[in-house]
Amino acid sequence: MASALLVPVRQGTWATLRLIAFVRDLRPEQRAWSAPGTYGSIEQTLGHIVGAEHYYLYRLTGEMPSAELKPASTVDLADLEERVRWCSDRLERLCVQGFDQHAPTHRNPGDPRMPTMGGMVTQLLCHGTEHRAQIATILGAHGVESPDTSGWTYAEQHPPAMAELAAEPPGPLPPNPWDAHAEAYQRFVRLREEADLAVDPFVSAMLSSLGEVTGREVLDACCGEGFFSRVLATRGARVIGVDLSPRLIEMARERQERDGAGEDPIDYRVGDLTRPIASLERRFSLIASHLALNDVADHRAFARVLASLADPGARLVLALNNPYSSLVRGHIKDYFENGAIGWYAGMAQRGVKAHYYHRTLEEYLDAFFAAGWRLTKLADVWPGQNDLLPAGTSFPYGLVLAFDMPTAGDVSVRR
């Protein structure tokens, strides 16, 4: 189950945001309108929709926003809008990660109701629809036409995911989209970080393949604004993070300065990992790269450069979007077209308009084999569902690959 739910979830968010925008243009006395049989005034009802969604989300994920939304007769619409987006981000994440619909929700000692995850999501969606309809009733009772928030209109304005995802923005490709969208990407990473990293499918599979990192020096290849470097550093690793984007490296350093570096500050460097880096040659016995391989323009040079930075016997662990998922997500049309450009849809919705390079799994593995790496583990991670897959099926959106660099004495492998 799961991502088929994205459409109704997004429709709910869109509808509530539409109503908030509409109410913003009403006079204060209009916002206080009510009608028999409804929850309360227009403003109170909006506050109630969002407050209830916070609660449902808590039951679904165990997470609550930092500030409580107290029931009030007037509400701060900008704050409400923020909260709607906060909820929607988390809900979408839940849908994409998938969940067991029969599993119980988080307990609330003050609430004897014990819905299942599926029941809670149903309640969340129904509750929003019901109260938005009440606002339409109130407006109608006062002779004001409410904005159209129906599923029909949503569907018309938001064509199916396949077309949306496959559409390429016009114009030439930017050389490194991550630099141009660094701020939006940082916000995206923040969301990932706020979730429970212990259950992040990529992070746990990577750490398990890397083995003990405490006290070890690790290269975080294509470290971006430092997400995985921080994961490693908090586990006691000494980390060197290299990335092509000067802006992301600047952000990584700023964040480290803000948070305070530990005993071993992460050494962030701007660098192109598809060109030799003499100063780091043969330096690492552990190399990690989190969700970057798909974004490197020259994957063969990347595999070679990482090999040149590795000690004999080194381990390399790469997390990537499963190449087969390019097709399942509707990003590309021909799986066999190495180098086809795909566009990240989820990130585009958050302002990161980044392309990636599709390559077949065979092409990726060949590139690393040719550079001398030996595959030791392939982990299928991030199970999910998709509009394009039959209901009830599950598919690994991600892969974690582990390679070793054979030592000179290892006769089983040709370099």
Contact footprint for ligand SAM (CB under 6 A): 176, 178, 189, 222-224, 227-228, 243-245, 248, 272-274, 290-292, 295-296
**Shortest separation between residue 258's beta carbon and ligand SAM, angstroms:** 17
Least distance from ligand SAM to the Cβ atom of residue 384, Å: 18
What is the closest distance, in whole angstroms, from the C-beta atom of residue 315 to ligand SAM in the complex? Answer: 17
User: What is the DSSP secondary structure assignment for residue 197, as one 8-state letter?
Assistant: G
Residue closer to ligand SAM by CB (options 18, 187) is 187
Least distance in angstroms from the C-beta of 177 to ligand SAM: 8
Instruction: Give 318-353 as a DSSP string.
Output: EEEE-HHHHHHTTS-S-TT-TTEEEE-HHHHTTT--
Residue nearest to ligand SAM according to CB distances in the complex: 224
> Contact 149/15 with Cβ under 8 angstroms?
yes
Half-sphere exposure of 398 (CA within 13 A, CB side): 20
Question: Residue 378 Cβ, how far from ligand SAM at the closest point, in Å?
Answer: 20
Q: Which is nearer to ligand SAM, 292 or 309 (CB)?
A: 292
Q: Give, in degrees to the nearest 5, the angle at Cα 247 between 243 and 251.
A: 90
| DSSP state string for 80-117 | HHHHHHHHHHHHHHHHHH---TTSBPPP-TT-----BH
Cβ neighbourhood burial of 243 (10 Å; 0-12, 13-18, 19+): buried
**Which DSSP symbol is given to 378?**
E
- The CB-of-11 to ligand SAM minimum distance in angstroms stands at 28
Contact 378, 320 (CB under 8 A): no
Which lies closer to ligand SAM via its Cβ, residue 106 or residue 275? 275
Pair 314, 339: CB distance under 8 Å = no
Q: Which is nearer to ligand SAM, 54 or 300 (CB)?
A: 300
